Amino acid sequence: MSLSAKQKATVKDFFGKMSTRSDDIGAEALSRLVAVYPQTKSYFSHWKDASPGSAPVRKHGITIMGGVYDAVGKIDDLKAGLLSLSELHAFMLRVDPVNFKLLAHCMLVCMSMVFPEEFTPQVHVAVDKFLAQLALALCEKYR
Amino acid sequence: MVEWTEFERDTIKDIFSKIDYDVVGPAALTRCLVVYPWTRRYFGNFGALYNAEGIMGNEMVANHGKKVLHGLDRAVKNMDHIKESYCELSQLHSDQFHVDPDNFRLLADCLAIAIATQWGSAFTPDIQAAFQKFLSVVVFSLGSQYH
């Protein structure tokens, strides 16, 4: 399910519009991940506080969103562009890939909350596909 | 038996008392058909669903979206017996409509997004968690009679 040229343009355009709110959306998305899917807190047992809205969660959400933005710039070859991130996730973090889908869903929820007019069904499908491709690229080195 | 906190019960009742069925139902089903195009397989008689514009303007899709959203009413009224409430509907979806139950999960995700679009920041993480827990129970129940 690779992105068409039009969908890549849609993704770049929407992420451009989103850029002033990207930190908020990143922080909110990770907060929602641990709120809606509490089992995901298992990856953050090294934090004093992994509850929704906590400082480490918000900070890490911003970091992750930064990575997503970086991936937008590499949209034409995500596998190559995310090689080292994939190695990190495969050998060090070892995050079960099912969680990428869960976080993607939370990101989509946040996008639709903050940009209800712009996050049309057409934008939704393009962004959902992009996040799925991103997740696939992150999984590349897993096995 | 699913255990619900006071907050979860209140949240579900609150959501469904405020929801605009005529907007959210169509919005959720439309998104599902656009974002997960394989779901169109179940609506062959709805006319031309080849692209987003066609789906978004389709009256049958809109009406069906309202119908499906109202299908959740029985769960709201019967939160302690959701699985039993959906026995018949589950059989129907399995034996008559032959819907892959994974599609219920996809529609539930689209419903969360449709509500988020309407409510904005009022759709807090706690409310989203309660709503998605509720939807996952309905999704499970709809799949429960498949064989």
Q: Which residues of A touch B (CB under 8 A)?
A: 28, 31-32, 35-36, 52-53, 105, 108-110, 112-114, 116, 119-122, 124-125, 128
pLDDT, mean of each 10-residue run, chain A (143 residues): 95 97 98 95 91 96 98 96 94 91 98 97 98 97 92
Out of B55, B120, B132, closest to residue A116 by CB: B120
pLDDT per position as a tens digit, B7-55 = 999 999 999 999 999 999 999 999 999 999 999 989 999 999 999 999 9
Interface touch B125/A53, C-beta < 8 Å: yes
Hey, how many other C-beta atoms are within 10 angstroms of the C-beta on A22? 17
Q: How far is CA A115 from CA B30, B47, B117, B119, in A?
A: 18, 31, 8, 11
| Distant-in-sequence contacts of B102-106, Cβ < 8 A, 24+ apart | B103/B32, B103/B36, B103/B39, B103/B42, B104/B138, B104/B139, B104/B142, B104/B143, B105/B136, B105/B139, B106/B32, B106/B35, B106/B36, B106/B39
pLDDT per position as a tens digit, A112-121 = 999 999 999 9
The one-letter code for the residue type at A18 is M
Interface touch B126/A35, C-beta < 8 Å: yes
Q: For residue B1, what pLDDT is reported?
A: 79
What ipTM does this complex have?
0.84
Q: What angle do CA A85, A86, A88 make, to 5 degrees?
A: 65
Out of A52, A53, A124, closest to residue B35 by CB: A124
**8 A C-beta contact, residue B66 and residue B24:** no
C-alpha radius of gyration, chain A, whole number: 15
